[in-house]
Every structure is written in structure tokens, then in C-alpha cells.
Structure 1
């Protein structure tokens, strides 16, 4: 297992062990009005993160939980390996002292250690733009913003909460839906997340991609992402990245790459699973909330709500 994967698995194991002795109401804490998981985030880390120095050539993936960040992380780490003339998935494709890629997860010394990592550094974040270090935007680091239709995000998040001890679990889907719509989720309200990122989408250093378009044509998505980050690809390299990032391929290796949470992270990987859970009333509530917050916005249009979220 390469160092980056080991960092991931070790951190998950530690968080699961800590969560096992905690009460449900202790699993989340609030910072600047947004809830975060106690076992993987902390106030000290958030304060240390404020002074993090981004580099112009950092590769940043931003996405709300359950939007497909683990999937796109695989694509981006493979592309970075290719740009460094390494073999994707090989032992040498990761930096020797790799950090856990989620920017807001770790210890307070993490950001100091990251100053020693060679470029390009890869990082992932579930944070809203206003809570990212200011240097990310000052240096114009390139950000791939990943978004997914809100009904599938809610559905996937529900199963995720019930499969992972680090987040509060739910006895019923109805209970979860109420919390999802009333902003009681880890990393905050998804529609607010979209609304905040919508203010940044015109910046030249940000590229937006939807889960659904990657699902529809992975090869085209990989090609466009590589172009955005300035990574030239041969046809053979493109096919390798596409094959390695299939849901089946990633699920098969998930116990090695993601440890105890592999099966929870890679559950179905499909579009429109929401139809198995949403009631007519819940559909109406989500439709109304989306209309009020996102209709007419660039990200709202990009999501093709009428195509993916209408029964």
C-alpha cells in the first residue's frame, strides 16, 4: 500500500475507534455556524488552516460529501502521476511523505509538513469557499469543483451516515431528510454550499464538473480535466486512467485503498438512486428549495435539475 493510502486508512481506523465510545450528540461540533465531525476535524486544525500557504500549481478538488470526491481523487492522482512520468497506482506514484489529502482533516502540524512536499501537491476539500485559506484564491491555485444533483447527494449521504460510526446514524430516511433540509448535516447545507460556490464559478482558475457528466462520458471528462490542469495525455494514458476509475475497478480494490470504509464509500455509484427513497412530499420540498436557491444560477443550470431530479 502506498503512503497516501496508508495515511487514509490509519486516519479512518483512528476516527472509527474514537467514535465508538462517543454518544450520538458528541459526533458533530460547530465552527462558524457549520457542523463538522468531531473525530476527523477540530477547532485547532481550522485555526491552523487559516495561515496555510497555497501554491499556484496546487491541484485542488472541491466537492460536498457524497458528490463523488473519492472517485475524482483517483482520476486526479493518476493524472498527477502521469505528469510526473510515473505509473498510476505504482508504489512510486505517491510522494514519500504523503499527507491525508483532505485539507481540513489532520493535525495542526500538517500544514508545516506540507511546505516540504514537492509540487504539484494534491488536496481535497469539502469546505465552502469562504472557509478555505485566503491564499488559495490569492495564488489562483486551480480548483476542480465537483457537483452532483441534490437528491442523489441526500440519498448517498443517508446511507453513508448509517454505514459510518463517525457520523450520527438515522433510524429512518424521513428523519434524515428533515435534518438534511434543516441544515443539520456535517459540512453544512448542500444548497448553501452550491450557492456560495456559485459566486466563484467565473474565475479562470476554477473548472466545474458534474458527477452525472463524468458518469455519462468518463473519457471525455478525464480529457477535459487533464487539459484544465495542463497535463498532456497519450491515448494509452487516457484509457488507463479511464479503466482504473471505473466504479467496478475502484470498488474491487476499496478494502486495500480505503480500509474499513471501502464498502461504505463505494456503495452503488449510480444516478437517480433517490427514486428509491423520496416521497412525493419530499420531492416537492427539495424542488421548492432548489428553485428558491439555485434556479437561474450557473451551477443550477449546470446540474440539469429537470433532467436528473424530476420524477
Structure 2
């Protein structure tokens, strides 16, 4: 199966064909939004699962106190990749979703600025690196023999999620239409506690210092990697399929791209990035030591 057959092209955007919920896609515009809904929106491989865990811990006390054994993906389901065909209309409020949708495909109800959006963005060289490994791990995605091939595919937007530049720029340039907070993957990585407090402030959630500490502790990469409820490994292996015995949560570091990009690849990407993102003031951190 070639890459085009694995992708579903819908209104100018690429979805992974075999796991996307077509019924939801076709009715997205009229999807009923509640005032207290929260959406995590990301480009793929930008910290989606991590943010799902963080918001699960913020919103659901039983998850935070570990008194209920529920998968994070069930507490914060994907809107368009609704693998388990959940009836979202029957979910109690507050509902928290995650999504890779571009700004122009989200439900119209999000534009009344009552429901909240947390947009997580990550430096694109690490996105590419993570996506390259992910596509070679998950059965439904087309793998690439080498990084050079994947970079070309990524820059052509021939992946689920389409073109990274369009996704980030689209959301940023249309931010005034939504009640939205932009948070970078790197700022969460460098100071998770401050990021959790920032998220709580935006979401209007007042947690005690002990509860904030509990969120931070359970949302570290190490703890999530060892918690099958939080790392999606069960869902991937049982319901999506994998090509190997690898792990969904691979490294979660900043700057891993340096271990995979050649100097020429890095310089070429920098030129494209500077041209396409010159008018976008979002701060990008390319290495853990970079301020």
C-alpha cells in the first residue's frame, strides 16, 4: 500500500485512513460543543499523549489519586481518531478531547470562545525525528528507509497531519477566533511545574500545591513510559498494530534531531523554516541548553 492509499484527503487535510472516524469527520462542523469542553490540539508527534496525561491528572481526581484504573486515552479521547467509536454526546462534562485538526476543520462551536483550546507546538526538527521513528513502528503508517526520504515527505506534507508549517501558522494566525493558549513542548520539558500551573490558570482549575506536585510527578516521561494506562502502548499493540516490539514513548527529549539530521539536512530545513515562519513570533527551542 503506498502512502496515498494510507492517507485520507479530506477538505485539504491528510488523515490516517484506517483509524480516522469518517462519520465524525463528515459532521465536524456541527459537532455540539459545550461551554466547558477543552481541546488539546497538536500537530502529530508534538506532545499529544503527554498533554493528555497532564490534563487527565488536572481534571480527574480519581486519575490523579490513582483510585481508578482507566486509560488516559479514554479520559481524553481523540475527536477524529475515535477508534473505540465512543458516543461523545453521552460523556459527562467537562469533556476533554485531543485532536490534530487544522483550525478550519474544527467544530463551529469552538468559535464562541467559551470552550478552551490548548495548542501544543514543538520544534519541527524533533517532530520530524519522532515522526520518522513512529512511522517505522506503527503498522498503519508508511515507513521510510532513511531520514532523508522522510524529511522530503514531511516537507511535501505527504503525511497524516499534512504540512507542519500550515498547521502551526494556521492556528496562530487565526488565534483571535478561539479561546486558545499556546504552550511549547520544550517549555513543558524544561519546567513542567510552571507549565502545569500555567495550564491550570488558563483552564480555571485551582489545585493545591500537593495536587500540582502529584500531576508533575505522574506526568514525567519516566513515569509515563512505565504506566501502560498513560503511554498508549496497549491501544497501539492491540487495536492499531505495530511493526516491532519498540515503544510508543521513545525518548521525549529536546534536540534528538542532532543525532539524525546531517549538517546539510539541518541547514536546508533552517532556510525553509526561516522563510515560512518569519512572521510567526512563537518561540522555538532547538536544544535543551538553548534559552
Band the TM-score falls in, shorter-chain normalisation: 0.7 to 0.9
Query: Does 2:225 correspond to 1:244?
Result: no
Equivalent residue number for residue 68 of structure 2: 91
Equivalent residue number for residue 6 of structure 2: 27
SS in 1 for 2:151: helix
Which sections of structure 1, spanning at least 5 residues, go unmatched? 1-21
Q: Over residues 14-41 of structure 1, what are the superposed CA-to-partner deviations in whole Å (9 max), with x where a residue is unaligned?
A: xxxxxxxx66553212112222111111
Question: How far did residue 308 of structure 1 move?
Answer: 7.0
Counterpart of 1:290 (choices 262, 267, 273) is 273
Counterpart of 2:165 (choices 183, 188, 191) is 191
Aligned residues: 280
Q: Aligned ranges for residues 59-98 of structure 1 at < 5 Å?
A: 59-82=38-61, 87-91=64-68
Distance 1:103 1:219 in 2: 27
Q: Which moved more, 1:152-161 or 1:279-288?
A: 279-288
Counterpart of 2:284 (choices 298, 303, 309) is 303
Query: Does 2:116 correspond to 1:142?
Result: yes
Equivalent residue number for residue 37 of structure 2: 58
Query: Does 2:101 correspond to 1:106?
Result: no
Equivalent residue number for residue 3 of structure 1: none
Give the structure-1-normalised TM-score: 0.82
Query: Does 2:240 correspond to 1:261?
Result: no
- Aligned pair in 2 of structure 1 residues 93, 40: CA closer, same or farther (>3 Å)? closer
Q: Which moved more, 1:261-270 or 1:216-225?
A: 261-270
Which sections of structure 2, spanning at least 5 residues, go unmatched? 238-245
Equivalent residue number for residue 11 of structure 1: none
SS in 1 for 2:182: strand
Equivalent residue number for residue 9 of structure 1: none
Q: Aligned ranges for residues 116-127 of structure 1 at < 5 Å?
A: 116-127=90-101
Equivalent residue number for residue 149 of structure 2: 175
Distance 1:135 1:268 in 2: 36
Question: How far did residue 235 of structure 1 move?
Answer: 0.9
Q: Over residues 87-106 of structure 1, what are the superposed CA-to-partner deviations in whole Å (9 max), with x where a residue is unaligned?
A: 443317789xx577111122
Q: Over residues 97-149 of structure 1, what are the superposed CA-to-partner deviations in whole Å (9 max), with x where a residue is unaligned?
A: x5771111227975xx3222221101001111111111111253111110000
Q: Over residues 205-226 of structure 1, what are the superposed CA-to-partner deviations in whole Å (9 max), with x where a residue is unaligned?
A: 2111000000000011001101
Q: Is the 8 A contact 1:219 1:239 kept in 2?
A: yes
Q: Is the 8 A contact 1:25 1:168 kept in 2?
A: no
Q: Aligned ranges for residues 8-47 of structure 1 at < 5 Å?
A: 25-47=4-26
Equivalent residue number for residue 240 of structure 2: none
Give the structure-2-normalised TM-score: 0.87
SS in 2 for 1:36: strand
